[in-house]
Structure formats: C-alpha cells, structure tokens
Amino acid sequence: NAGVTQTPKFRVLKTGQSMTLLCAQDMNHEYMYWYRQDPGMGLRLIHYSVGEGTTAKGEVPDGYNVSRLKKQNFLLGLESAAPSQTSVYFCAIKSHSSSYEQYFGPGTRLTVT
C-alpha cells in the first residue's frame, strides 16, 4: 500500500470554504476511487474513475467534484464545505478491469466547523 498516498492527512475547514484532496499512486493502476467513512459506519463510494480523463458518480456524489487529468492523480474537490461533510476520506486503487481487489490509501481526516 505504500504506492498510494493522500494529501493532506488532516484538515479543518469552516463552513463554505473550499478545498481539494489529492490521491496519488505510483502503481500505474487504471481504477481510482474516493470513499467517505463516517464514525462507526462503513465506507460509501463518492466518485470513481476507470482511467485518465474519466470520472463517474458513486453512491453519495452530491457536494463533491472530481478530476483525473493524470493517470496517477485523482482529485476530490469540495466547493462549499458543510458540517455534514466531516468525515474520513479514503482513496482506493484497482489495477484494471479484470482485477478485483481494491487497495486503500491512508486516509484524510476532514472536519468542517
């Protein structure tokens, strides 16, 4: 999992502020995902990408935007943060369409006050 990094590790935002979370991988994997994990709950898929230049909505996409301009980077943007977006955000990667396993990054803890 050393090949997946997330920046920043922690962040505190005020309501209405914007920010971008970065997921970077050096494993040349095609598929990348963004999940959120709320306290005591499982992970929920926000957006995902099946390759450079592609993005798709997951289970809970509202309030977030994503971009995959380079294969190794997947950006998650919050244009106007809300307290309901306080969560831990995990990025995950998957090698290609015929592989099944997703591997997770270390996470970003975001608090919106």
Partner 1 sequence: GENVEQHPSTLSVQEGDSAVIKCTYSDSASNYFPWYKQELGKRPQLIIDIRSNVGEKKDQRIAVTLNKTAKHFSLHITETQPEDSAVYFCAASPDAGNMLTFGGGTRLMVKP
Residue 33: name the closest of 4, 12, 3, 2 by CA: 4
* Closest distance of CB 65 from partner 1, Å: 19
Pick the closer one to partner 1 by CB: 12 or 16.
12
Least distance in angstroms from the C-beta of 113 to partner 1? 21
| Closest distance to partner 1 from the beta carbon of 50 (Å) | 8
Of the pair 85, 108, the CB lying nearest partner 1 is at 108
Q: Considering only CA atoms, which of 77, 104, 87 is closest in space to residue 17?
A: 77
Residues that bind partner 1 (CB under 8 A): 1, 31, 33, 40-45, 48, 50, 58-59, 90, 94, 97-107
Q: What H or E segment, with its residue span, contains residue 65?
A: strand 65-67
Cα–Cα distance measured from residue 84 to residue 25, given in angstroms and rounded to the nearest whole number:
28
14 vs 42 by CB, closer to partner 1: 42
**Residue 78's CB: how many other CB atoms inside 10 A?**
20
How far apart are alpha carbons 56 and 20 in whole angstroms? Answer: 18
Q: How far is the CB of 92 from partner 1 (least distance, A)?
A: 8
Which CB, 13 or 32, lies closer to partner 1?
Answer: 32
